[in-house]
Amino acid sequence: MSLVKLYDTTLRDGTQAEDISFLVEDKIRIAHKLDELGVHYIEGGWPGSNPKDVAFFKDIKKEKLQQAKIAAFGSTRRAKTTPANDHNIKTLIAAEPDVITIFGKTWDFHVREALRISLEENLELINDSLVFLKQNVAEVFYDAEHFFDGYKANPEYAIKTLKAAEDAGVDCIILCDTNGGSMPYEVADIIAKVRKQIKTPLGIHTHNDGECAVANSIVAVDQGIVQVQGTINGFGERCGNANLCSIIPAIKLKLKKDCISDEQLRHLREVSNYIFELANLSPDKHLAYVGKSAFAHKGGVHVSAIQRHPETYEHIRPELVGNSTRVLVSDLSGKSNILAKAEEFQINLDSKDPVTQEILEEIKEMENRGFQFEGAEASFELMMKKALGTHKKFFQVMGFRVIDEKRTDDQKPTSEATVMIKVGGKIEHTAAEGHGPVNALDNALRKALEKFYPKLKEVKLHDYKVRVLPAGQGTASSIRVLIELGDKISRWGTVGVSDNIIDASYQALIDGIDFKLHHEDSV
């Protein structure tokens, strides 16, 4: 099996994305994660750009990586200087990376407009920068910026720029779709032509402005490219870079070429989530292969079929990339969704049992009122238990009151809640304050119940989402609250709907507490 080398630029091109910035410590942690994933090259940054990137190259030298090589990025020398005197080239060498990658201009339009030098001078600075770097570093790569646009505009000149790099003895020439507008059929056609004229190993670096970055990388590999550049989760300038989380499984599972081991592939989803986390972004659940929804089945027809054979609606086995099949419940469900969820919750339910149809009808009716169970599986499990008569009543809320008070214009409002609950024969009346009315109600409920059920102390509120649902004809709009609670072991979501935000929050909180008590009771 031929080997395709992976070159990750999450730490350089990835950080050119709006909203993404990593601390040096984050970059080091990400480098370790990429190394464990089996990435061959990690582009750590542009040392000529900022002190943080200089610090990264200094710090990464103290770390022990299993196999990945560290690459530093920069540009060809500036006009009117020599490579030995060029500040950028000097800082690249001073960073002492394993590999240096520099970009240079391929497109005659860019040479004239962006650099404002002659076409001949551009060829000279590509060549002498690379010759100089090859004398100082073991491995040197050349990123042919705007290669495909340049080739389309002036193929003869574009090839001359590659020859200037080839003559310098570079180890790999990377064809870049810098503006991200090339189409897969153009990329395939141009690479086939380039391969007839350039003998240096070729790589690919694509951007996603035409939503074709992954497709363009895959056709490039199919055309014999030996290095693929990209970022985890497709982070990158404008619409992003080619997403390695899609390219890696495509190389292994579709093109049947080698890049990382099967075991490393099983960590792909974990790596994707880890890097979202360090970027302080919520994971994109709709990402191919690694997203939470990538193998989530909602339509009843799909759920029925995957239970008979997963391949009916899954293009690969999700475990291969560390993902898993999920079944969602909604008003698009059929009996198969209900039965699959019952099995997941370890509830015995038969397709012929009339309760199955009753649960299905209740979901459809509740979704029509604004409930949504996709993010609230704990509420759905409790609803199933109620329908089957296996729900236990751990407590009864006899009433609650929430007061919000703002005494003067410049004073912050204060919130206080009182609740009355009954557990067994005992009545507990408790008050608590909070940051806002919902927090006060949550505190009061838990304070009252923790006396009877101390395990509730472990429960934390992780997420609280409110959505105003559009009003129907002649009706007031209602509010849907989705919350996520968790303990040391797991997290669970619940839902409440009402025309009153406190009541909707109350329903979701009660389900969240009830769910914890049912699960504590069953262990």
Ligand X SMILES: CC(=O)SCCNC(=O)CCNC(=O)[C@H](O)C(C)(C)COP(=O)(O)OP(=O)(O)OC[C@H]1O[C@@H](n2cnc3c(N)ncnc32)[C@H](O)[C@@H]1OP(=O)(O)O
What residue ranges bind ligand CC(=O)C(=O)O (CB under 6 A)?
A: 13, 103, 143, 145, 176, 178, 205, 207
CB of 461 to ligand CC(=O)C(=O)O, least distance (A): 42
Q: Which of 90, 292 has the CB closer to ligand X?
A: 90
Nearer to ligand CC(=O)C(=O)O among residue 209 and residue 487 (C-beta): 209
* Pair 231, 12: CB distance under 8 Å: no
494 lines the binding site for ligand X (CB under 6 A): no
Q: Which does 205 bind (CB under 5 to 8 A by kind): ligand CC(=O)C(=O)O, ligand X, none?
A: ligand CC(=O)C(=O)O
Whole-Å CA distances, 57 to 28, 42, 100, 377: 9, 11, 12, 46
CA 497 centroid distance within chain: 30
Does the protein bind ligand X through residue 104 (CB under 6 A)?
yes
Q: How many helices (H) and strands (E) does the chain have?
A: 18, 16
Cβ-contact 337, 329 below 8 angstroms: yes
How many other β-carbons are positioned within 10 Å of the β-carbon of residue 24? 19
* Cα angle 66, 203, 43; round to 5: 40
Contact stretch for ligand X (CB under 6 A) within 47-55, 187-195, 276-284, 465-473: 47-55
Which residues face 210 on adjacent strands?
none
Read off the tokens for 151: 């080739």
Q: Which is nearer to ligand X, 79 or 403 (CB)?
A: 79
147 scored as a contact of ligand X (CB under 6 A): no
CB closer to ligand CC(=O)C(=O)O, 178 vs 507: 178
**Chain center to CA of 162:** 35
Among 9, 101, 178, 217, binds ligand X (CB under 6 A): 178
Cβ atoms within 10 Å, residue 97 = 26
* Choice from 9, 10, 76, 430 touching ligand X (CB under 6 A): 76
DSSP 88-150: HHHHHHHT--SEEEEEEE--HHHIIIII-S-HHHHHHHHHHHHHHHHHH-SEEEEEEETHHHH
Q: Is 115 in the site for ligand X (CB under 6 A)?
A: yes
Among 5, 29, 32, 49, binds ligand X (CB under 6 A): 49
Pairing of the two strands 478-486 and 41-45? unpaired
In angstroms, rounded to a whole number, what is the distance separating the alpha carbons of residues 3 and 430? 66
166 makes contact, choosing from ligand X, ligand CC(=O)C(=O)O, none, with CB < 5 to 8 Å by partner type, with none
DSSP 254: I
Map tokens 């129907």 to a residue.
Answer: 472
Answer positive or negative: Cα dihedral of 226, 231, 233, 236: negative
Binding to ligand X by residue 180, rule CB under 6 A?
no
- Binding of ligand X by 506 (CB under 6 A): no
Among 75, 161, 231, 336, binds ligand X (CB under 6 A): 75
Least distance CB 145 / ligand CC(=O)C(=O)O (angstroms): 4
**Cβ of residue 228: shortest distance to ligand CC(=O)C(=O)O, in angstroms?**
13
Q: Give whichever of 72 and 419 is closer to ligand CC(=O)C(=O)O, judged by the CB atom.
A: 72
Asked if 78 is part of the footprint of ligand X (rule: CB under 6 A), the reply reads: yes
Number of residues that bind ligand X (CB under 6 A): 16
In angstroms, give the least distance from the CB of 143 to ligand CC(=O)C(=O)O.
4
Concatenated DSSP letters for 396-415?
A: EEEEEEEEEE--STTSPPEE
Q: How far is the CB of 156 from ligand X (least distance, A)?
A: 20
Nearer residue to ligand CC(=O)C(=O)O within complex by CB, 210 or 322: 210
Binding site for ligand X (CB under 6 A): 13, 16, 46, 48-50, 75-76, 78, 103-105, 114-115, 145, 178
